[in-house]
């Protein structure tokens, strides 16, 4: 095909595109009419998008509802929330209401969402209500609403979907709202992990929520979880103990050394070594050296940590990345 | 493919106790008045000496709310104690006047400076809420909001140059002025 003939279909396409830009009235079609935004109209868009939309459209309609909610009267949002039976739409409405509460510093606005999270008979709707609280200061909001509903209570829900939503909320709140620096959220996560009957949920919380600001009571709670029957939870508790602040490090180090010596599970031993390395960084080297020979199969892991700690990297994320480059 | 590898690497780190990775936030203008404009960026008034931050104003003092700029819920730590002022020129709080800091990971922070305090002022967690009034406390030459994004105390500029914010850009509260790292 010559370059000239290649241009012909392109020109035709351009013409069609230009015609589509011509005023609608000039083409004898009905003109678009402006309509007023309503909560119901926006919810219909969310409902449709969640059923048939692309991931990008789903994100867009939820974001649009959230932004519009800042200027909407709370009553219309609350009325819609109380009657909603579609989990996806309930989650979007909940997120919009929670964002409005955060913007207006009005924690009482989330009370109906908390009521749905605890009282709805459908577990999918309870989970959706919990997810609606993600990304806002939900732990603080629950306290300011009198502590009538707490994550400790929600994590005992019979539905695994609700329990997973609780863990996701706390992980997200610690990382995204506070960059891991908030004591209240970290301690709430520890209490929830201790109260959880689902070891996978408890393990996720301990593994992924920052422990950098927790107090001595929370350190004790985490230490007690080193004796859990579930190896995943013991390993997560060891990981968490590696991240506790200065005051608790001596006791935590001793507990992790004991765990390494006594626990036969390789994943738990691996997590104990990571905890020891994180607590001491370059000062952990003599402790790690002393653990050589306890389990010959783990000596390569100890060697990897010693190689990394010799580099004197200044941030834990860099240390961890380098360790994972050497040995997963 | 590269994105997939990065995502997988982040997932592996998360599963190993990586919870405070650094992210790009979105910052909107701090004043809900369409007249609000950016007056200084990398250089004072865009042609003066080095500044490496945004100054935003609507030409009023102690009238309009000085709002949190990050468009999600974040913790704003308040450092107050400076008497309200509309002309500035004091060294209160090292010249920052009354100010807020949002602390991220790896030494990153986002600050909003020089506000006049009112009942809204104080440490809090919120999403674009009122933090005080647009004012001129500290080393300031007139009421404005100063916003900067620093790592280990060094001001960075990519957060606003990357989205094209310059002198004259809107500093209205629904207009994105930057993508600070936190």
- Whether B31 contacts A225, CB under 8 Å: no
Residue A222 forms contact with B (CB below 8 Å): no
CB contact under 8 A, A320 and B18: yes
A201 Cβ neighbours under 8 A, 6+ residues apart: A155, A163, A164, A166, A167, A193
Which of A23 and A62 is assigned the larger pLDDT?
Answer: A62
B19, part of any domain: no
* B128 chain-A contacts, CB cut-off 8 A: 70, 103
Q: Does B129 contact A104 at a Cβ distance shorter than 8 Å?
A: yes
Other C-beta atoms lying within 10 Å of the C-beta of residue A259: 25
Of B142, B124, B155, B174, which Cα lies nearest the Cα of B56?
B142
Contact yes or no for B143/B134 (Cβ under 8 A): yes
Could you give the CA distance from residue A223 to residue A73 in angstroms, rounded to a whole number? 47
Structure tokens at A305: 């940590």
Q: For B139-158, write each residue's pLDDT tens digit.
A: 999 999 999 999 999 999 99
Half-sphere exposure (Cβ direction) of B136: Cα atoms closer than 13 Å: 16
Assess if residue B85 is contained within a domain: yes
Q: How confident is the model at residue B44 (pLDDT cuts 50, 70, 90)?
A: very high
Confidence of residue A31 (pLDDT cuts 50, 70, 90): confident
- Mind telling me how many Å the CA of A278 is from chain B's nearest CA? 10
Average pLDDT over residues A21-42: 69
Residue A107 CA, chain-centre distance (Å), reads: 21
- Which pLDDT score, from 0 to 100, does residue A5 have? 42
Chain B residue with CA closest to A244: the answer is B17
pLDDT category at A11 given cuts 50, 70, 90 is low
Q: How many CA atoms lie within 13 A of B157 on its CB side?
A: 12
The mean pLDDT of A143-157, rounded to a whole number, is: 98
| CB-CB under 8 Å, B19 with A171 | yes
Does the distance separating the beta carbons of B12 and A105 come in below 8 Å? no
With an 8 Å Cβ cutoff, are B106 and A140 in contact? no
* CB pair distance less than 8 Å for A210 and B16: no
Residue B148 lies in a domain: yes
Chain B contact set for A176 (CB, 8 A): 23, 72
CA dist A191 and A205 (Å) reads: 10
Q: The domain that contains B170 carries what CATH number? A: 2.70.70.10
**Does A171 contact chain B (CB < 8 Å)?**
yes
Name the packing angle between helices A183-195 and A216-224 (round to 10°): 30
How many Cβ pairs within 8 Å bridge chains A and B? Answer: 85
Rounded to whole angstroms, the Cα distance separating A258 from A268 reads 12
For chain B, the residues whose C-beta falls within 8 A of a C-beta of chain A are 12-21, 23, 72-75, 103-106, 124-129, 174, 182
From A105, which residue of chain B is nearest by alpha-carbon distance? B126
Q: Considering only CB atoms, which chain B residues are within 8 Å of A104?
A: 129
pLDDT band at B59; cut points 50, 70, 90 = very high
Instruction: Check A179 against B73: CB less than 8 A apart.
Output: no
Q: pLDDT confidence of B14, banded at 50, 70, 90?
A: low
Record: contact A180-B105, CB cut-off 8 A: yes
Q: Which residues of B touch A314 (CB under 8 A)?
A: none
Closest CA to B55 of B75, B70, B36: B36
| pLDDT over threshold 90, residue A38 | no
Report yes or no on B134 lying in a domain. yes
Spatial contact of A234 and A264, defined as CB atoms under 8 Å apart: no
User: ipTM more than 0.95?
Assistant: no
Contact assignment for A240 to B127 by CB distance below 8 Å: no
CA of B104, closest CA in chain A: separation in Å? 5
* Alpha-carbon dihedral angle through residues B100, B105, B107, B108, given to the nearest 10 degrees: -50
Asked if pLDDT for residue A77 goes beyond 90, the answer is yes
In percent, how much of chain A has pLDDT > 90?
Answer: 85
Instruction: Show the domain range for B94.
Output: 24-178
Which residue has 């490496």 as its token pair?
Answer: B52
Distance from CA of B85 to the nearest CA of A (A): 26
Chain B interface test: which of A102, A140, A183, A318 (most B C-beta within 10 Å):
A102
In angstroms, rounded to a whole number, what is the distance separating the alpha carbons of residues A172 and A128? 16
The answer to whether the CB atoms of B17 and A176 lie below 8 A apart is no
Out of A140, A239, A242, closest to residue B125 by CB: A140
Answer whether residue B65 is part of any domain.
yes
Contact at CB, A102 and B18, closer than 8 angstroms: no
Beta-carbon separation of B127 and A102 below 8 A:
yes
**A111-119 and A74-83 helices, crossing angle to 10°:** 10
| d(C-alpha A95, C-alpha A101), whole Å | 10
Q: Is the pLDDT assigned to residue A4 strictly greater than 50?
A: no
> What is the predicted pLDDT for the residue at A30?
65
Task: Write the secondary structure of chain B as one string of H (helix), E (strand) and C (coil).
Answer: CHHHHHHHHHHHHHHCCCCCCCCECCEECCECCCCCEEEECCEHHHCCCECCCEEEECCCCCCCEEECCECCCEEEEEECCCCCCCCCCCCHHHHCCEEEEEECCCCEEEEEEEEECCCCCCCEEECCCEEEECCCCCCCCCCCEEEEEEECCEEECHHHHCCCCCCCCECECCCEEECCEC
Task: Indicate yes or no: CB of B13 within 8 angstroms of CB of A321.
Answer: yes
The residues pairing with B150 across neighbouring beta strands, listed in sequence order, are B109, B155
Query: Structural domain tally of chain B?
Result: 1
pLDDT, tens only, A94-142:
999 999 999 999 999 999 999 999 999 999 999 999 999 999 999 999 9
Question: Which of B6, B9, B11, B19 to probe the A interface (max A CBs under 10 A)?
Answer: B19
In the predicted model, is pLDDT for residue A27 greater than 60?
no
Closest CA to B80 of B53, B100, B50: B100
Residue B47 has pLDDT above 70, yes or no: yes
Span A166-195, average pLDDT: 98
> Which of B5, B15, B20 has the highest number of chain A CBs within 10 A, making it the mutation to test binding with A?
B20
> Is B28 inside any structural domain?
yes
Decide: residue B174, CB within 10 A, 0-12 exposed, 13-18 middle, 19+ buried: middle
**Residue-level pLDDT at A7:** 44
Report, as an integer, the average pLDDT of B90-107: 97
Higher pLDDT, B12 or A127: A127
């Amino acid at each position: 095909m010559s370059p000239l003939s290649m241009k012909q279909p392109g020109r035709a396409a351009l013409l069609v595109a230009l015609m589509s830009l011509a005023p609608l009235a000039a083409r004898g079609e009905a003109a678009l009419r402006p309509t007023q935004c309503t909560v119901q109209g926006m919810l219909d868009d969310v409902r449709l998008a969640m059923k048939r939309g692309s991931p990008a459209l789903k994100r867009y309609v939820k974001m649009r509802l959230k932004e519009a909610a800042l200027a909407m009267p709370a009553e219309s949002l609350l009325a819609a929330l109380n009657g909603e039976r579609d989990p996806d739409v309930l989650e979007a409405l909940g997120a919009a209401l929670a964002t409005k509460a955060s913007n207006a510093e009005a924690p009482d606005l989330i009370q109906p969402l908390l009521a749905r999270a605890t009282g709805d008979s459908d577990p999918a709707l309870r989970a959706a209500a919990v997810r609606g609280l993600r990304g806002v200061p939900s732990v603080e909001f629950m306290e300011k609403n009198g502590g009538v509903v707490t994550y400790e209570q929600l994590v005992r829900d019979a539905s695994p979907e609700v329990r997973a939503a609780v863990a996701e909320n706390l992980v997200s709140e610690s990382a995204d709202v506070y960059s891991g620096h908030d004591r209240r959220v970290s301690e709430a996560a520890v209490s929830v992990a201790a109260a959880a009957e689902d070891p996978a949920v408890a393990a996720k919380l301990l593994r992924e929520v920052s422990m950098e600001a927790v107090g001595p009571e929370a350190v004790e709670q985490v230490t007690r979880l080193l004796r859990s029957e579930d190896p995943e939870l013991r390993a997560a508790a060891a990981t968490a103990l590696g991240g506790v602040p200065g005051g608790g490090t001596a006791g935590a180090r001793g507990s992790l050394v004991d765990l390494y010596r006594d626990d036969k599970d390789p994943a738990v031993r691996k997590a104990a070594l990571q905890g020891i390395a994180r607590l001491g960084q370059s000062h952990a080297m003599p402790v790690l050296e002393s653990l050589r020979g306890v389990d010959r199969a783990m000596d390569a892991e100890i060697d990897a940590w010693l190689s990394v700690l010799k580099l004197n990297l200044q941030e834990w994320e860099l240390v961890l990345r380098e360790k994972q480059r050497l040995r997963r | 493919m590269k994105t997939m590898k990065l995502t997988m690497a982040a997932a592996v780190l998360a599963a190993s106790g990586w919870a405070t990775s650094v992210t790009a936030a979105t910052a909107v203008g701090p004043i809900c008045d369409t007249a609000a404009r950016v007056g200084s960026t990398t250089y004072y008034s865009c042609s003066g000496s080095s500044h490496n931050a945004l100054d935003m104003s609507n030409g009023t003092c102690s009238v309009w709310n000085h709002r949190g700029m990050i468009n999600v819920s974040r913790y704003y730590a308040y450092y107050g104690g400076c008497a309200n002022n509309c002309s500035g020129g004091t060294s209160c709080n090292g010249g920052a006047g009354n100010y807020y800091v949002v602390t991220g990971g790896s030494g990153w922070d986002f600050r909003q400076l020089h506000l006049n305090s009112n009942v809204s002022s104080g440490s809090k967690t919120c999403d674009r809420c009122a933090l005080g009034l647009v004012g001129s406390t500290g080393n300031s030459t007139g009421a404005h909001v100063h916003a900067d994004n620093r790592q280990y105390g060094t001001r960075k500029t990519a957060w606003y140059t990357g989205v094209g914010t310059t002198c004259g850009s809107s500093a209205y509260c629904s207009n994105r002025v930057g993508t600070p790292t936190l």
